[in-house]
Amino acid sequence: MRTSFLVVSIVGALLCMGAASFPDRIDLPDGWQPEGIATGRGHELFVGSIPTGAVYRVDARDGTGSVVVQPSEGRAAIGLAVDEANRLFVAGGGTGKAFVYNARSGDLLADFQLAPAGSDTFVNDVTFARGSAYFTDSRRSVLYIVDGDLGGARELPLPDIPLDPGFNLNGIVASPDGRTLIAVQTASGRLWRIDAATGSAVEIDVDGGPLPNGDGLLLHRGTLYVVQNRLNTIAAVELAPDLSSGEVVDTLTSEDFDVPTTIARHGSSLYAVNARFGTPPTPETGYWITRISP
């Protein structure tokens, strides 16, 4: 019995050491200008570059990384997400487009012109539901749906969500059954519950809200994490089972935050990418990912 206890203790200690070895800060290439982050297979994290459309792949275990999607003129990378087929879906910001890449090779699989040419648009974030990818537009009261077979894209109007001055819908997540979407309206800090099939929407009543500067969202076991970028905080909102209401139960922050925009979850940790919007970008400007425990 004593030997068994010793073996279990050693294994437990090694596991703890392994978890602790994951770096709390992961540096990105100088001048990267990140905004979106997503988890991939294994220990992969993907981070986009706003002005170039490039995507950097990072190993969360040791912080090593490389460029998987090369920079390309006419592209941008804002929010991104990886699906079960290991395809990387990227919101194209002011281009009005969505881009889909092979997450292993970085090859472009498809691109879609989501917003009408010449319209005021900012395709901002993406999530998966009902076998399709749903994209927000911070300038238009619509969602864009890209079919899972990459056969086409269409608009889903959102007549119940009025446009506010400034940035509108930003981060978006889906309920586990895929029937409901939750999105945050950046300027007002309001959360919206959206029917993924019809686009009908109702504001979520948040005790402790609104949540201004709301950016990336992450939903985990009934808790919605809302990144409040320029406030350098992440609000943890405990949602009601029917998603009609919620309560801010915690506020997460870090001395390492510098305008975090989006988050991803790997294991028991949250990884926030710092966009540093208050710092003039140069080719030498440093950017990084911050790991925190919720």
- Per-residue confidence in pLDDT tens, the chain, 294 aa: 433 433 444 444 444 444 458 999 999 999 999 999 999 999 999 999 999 999 999 999 999 999 999 999 999 999 999 999 999 999 999 999 999 999 999 999 999 999 998 899 999 999 999 999 999 999 999 999 999 999 999 999 999 999 999 999 999 999 999 999 999 999 999 999 999 999 999 999 999 999 999 999 999 999 999 999 999 999 999 999 999 999 999 999 999 999 999 999 999 999 999 999 999 999 999 999 999 999
Interior angle at CA 132, CA 129 and CA 133, nearest 5: 85
- Residue 124 covered by a domain: yes
Q: In what order do the strands lie in the sheet with 55-59?
A: 34-39, 44-49, 55-59, 65-69
Q: What is the SS3 string spanning 96-135? A: CEEEEEECCCCCEEEEEECCCCCCCCCEEEEEEECCEEEE
Contact (Cβ atoms closer than 8 angstroms) between residue 98 and residue 148: no
CA-derived radius of gyration, the chain: 19
> What's residue 3's pLDDT?
37
Cα separation, 55 vs 74, in Å, equals 14
Residues with Cβ within 8 Å of residue 263, at least 6 apart in sequence: 37, 216, 218, 225, 227, 234, 270, 271, 272, 273
* CA-to-CA separations, 24 to 49, 165, 255, in angstroms, rounded: 21, 36, 12
Domain membership of residue 3 (yes or no) is no
Entry pTM: 0.92
The boundaries of the domain holding residue 109 are: 24-292
3-state secondary structure of 15: helix
Could you give the count of Cα atoms lying within 13 Å of 84 in the half-sphere of its Cβ?
6
Q: What pLDDT is stored for residue 21 in this prediction?
A: 82
Considering the domain boundaries, does residue 195 fall inside one? yes
Q: Identify the CATH number of the domain in which residue 144 sits.
A: 2.130.10.10
Query: Is residue 88 domain-resident?
Result: yes
Residue 1 lies in a domain: no
- Looking at residue 280, its amino acid is P
Confirm whether 175 is domain-assigned.
Answer: yes
Give the whole-angstrom CA distance, residue 194 versus residue 19. Answer: 37
Number of domains in the chain: 1
For CA atoms 289, 260, 280, 35, give the dihedral sign: positive
How many Cβ atoms are within 10 Å of 59's Cβ, its own excluded? 15
Report whether 188 contacts 203 (CB < 8 A).
no
Q: Answer yes or no: is 278 within a domain.
A: yes
The pLDDT value given to residue 96? 98
Buried b (16+ CB within 10 A) or exposed e, 12-34: eeeeeeeeeebeeebebbeebbb
Q: Does residue 87 lie within any of the structural domains?
A: yes
Q: Which helix (H) or strand (E) holds 29?
A: none
Identify whether the C-beta of residue 217 lies closer than 8 Å to the C-beta of residue 226. Answer: yes
